[in-house]
Amino acid sequence: MSETATEDLAAALRPTAVIDSDSPAVAALVARVAPDPDEDRLERILRLYYAVRDEIRYDPYGIMLDREAFRASHCLAAGTGYCITKAAVLAAAARAIGVPARLGFADVRNHLATPRLLSLMDTDIFAWHGFTVLYLDGRWVKATPAFDLALCERFGVVPLEFDGRTDSVFHPFDSQGRKHMEYVRDRGAWDDLPYEAITADFRRLYSRLIGRRGGDFHAEAGPGAVS
């Protein structure tokens, strides 16, 4: 492995303000879900992926733009999050067990957002959709723990599985053949959250959504509720 590659992996292992892999909350998650350091790292990652996917309720409402709100430990404490914060939790947990991890981003067109969410966003383009990129068996693999199983069942969307070997990204169609998710722009992978770029775009694009409380996305996602 080249010196540059070694340095790249080292950066993907260090704790940051957002990917706070050294926090007590992340340590507690690892200790509960994947406590055995002698277990195969892939098996530990899979346990952590499903815990983050299903135990943290997906909620696109109440997005806050202060840096603290993006932290993995903050998402764990809240028990709810959206794509970026849930990706940060998985990245932090991976780093905590010695697996290099980055945050990946893309702009996506979500064909199954609820009417209320779309009305607040004024667009069906979700900028800076977040996922986790993990270095396993000598290659980077994408993992998307955003939508929990309960939400997928309400939407009629096939839940995203992850095997640690192939990319886990949103399906283009749902279980009924309707358009689901379309990737329209790749924003790359980052060792830390590109905070300034994300918050600037969110303020510009989603001013009516930021900080809004009171929604229940799981309830909105019931049968017949999609756009």
Query: Which amino acid, residue 132?
Result: T
Residues 40-54: tens digit of each pLDDT: 999 999 999 999 999
In this structure, is residue 183 part of a structural domain? yes
The enclosing domain of 63 has a CATH number of 3.10.620.30
Would you say residue 80 lies in a domain? yes
pTM of the model: 0.91
Tally of domains within the chain: 1
Range of the domain at 132: 3-218
150-154, 165-169, 217-221: range with lowest mean pLDDT: 217-221
Q: Is residue 59 part of a domain?
A: yes
**Kind plus residue range of the DSSP H or E element containing 184:** strand 181-190
What pLDDT, on a 0 to 100 scale, did the predictor assign at position 112? 64
In a domain, 223, yes or no: no
| Closest residue by Cα to residue 102 from 199, 187, 196, 200 | 187
In a domain, 141, yes or no: yes
Q: How far apart are the C-alpha atoms of 142 and 133, rounded to whole Å? A: 4
Is 116 inside any structural domain?
yes
pLDDT at 5: 52
Q: Quick one: pLDDT band at residue 92, thresholds 50, 70, 90?
A: very high
In a domain, 226, yes or no: no
Residue pLDDT, tens place only, 133-152: 999 999 999 999 999 999 98
Under 8 Å between Cβ of 18 and 33: no
Identify whether 225 is part of a domain. no
Share of the chain above pLDDT 90, in %: 67
